[in-house]
Amino acid sequence: DGGITQSPKYLFRKEGQNVTLSCEQNLNHDAMYWYRQDPGQGLRLIYYSQIVNDFQKGDIAEGYSVSREKKESFPLTVTSAQKNPTAFYLCASSIGTVGTEAFFGQGTRLTVV
């Protein structure tokens, strides 16, 4: 089945730790995105990538880093510099041209303990 796989589903982070969220897609999409969802707020864009080896900051990139070494993979690292990392993280992909449909994974819930 084609789709977007995010792992793990739940992740716990201690203060001062970096953690990496995985996102893999087998839709052959060029563009991939990371969004953050907080209660009572709309989804906010963290980073996006339109092509391999290239990515751009979104609206809330501070404290996060990404890489795009393969077309199918777009991992997100939440660094210790992110002051409030507890949230639901969603990965998405699209064909990559403007105006095309976006598809989402099932999300990773990150909690700081």
The residues that touch another protein, with contacts defined as CB under 8 A, are 4, 6, 31, 33, 35, 40-45, 48, 50, 58, 90, 92, 98-107, 109
By beta-carbon proximity to another protein, the closer residue of 18 and 96 is 96
**CA triplet 31, 34, 39: central angle to 5 degrees?**
145
Q: Which CB, 15 or 54, lies closer to another protein?
A: 54
- Write down the least CB distance from residue 1 to another protein, Å: 14
- Shortest approach of another protein to residue 20 CB, angstroms? 19
What are residue 95's phi and psi, to 5 degrees? Answer: -55, -40
Residues 6+ apart with CB under 8 A from 39: none
Asked if residue 21 lies in contact with residue 75, where contact means CB atoms within 8 angstroms, the answer is yes
Shortest distance in whole angstroms from residue 70 CB to another protein: 20
Please list, in sequence order, all residues whose beta carbon lies within 8 angstroms of the beta carbon of residue 98, skipping any fewer than 6 positions away.
none
Nearer to another protein, 10 or 83 (CB): 10
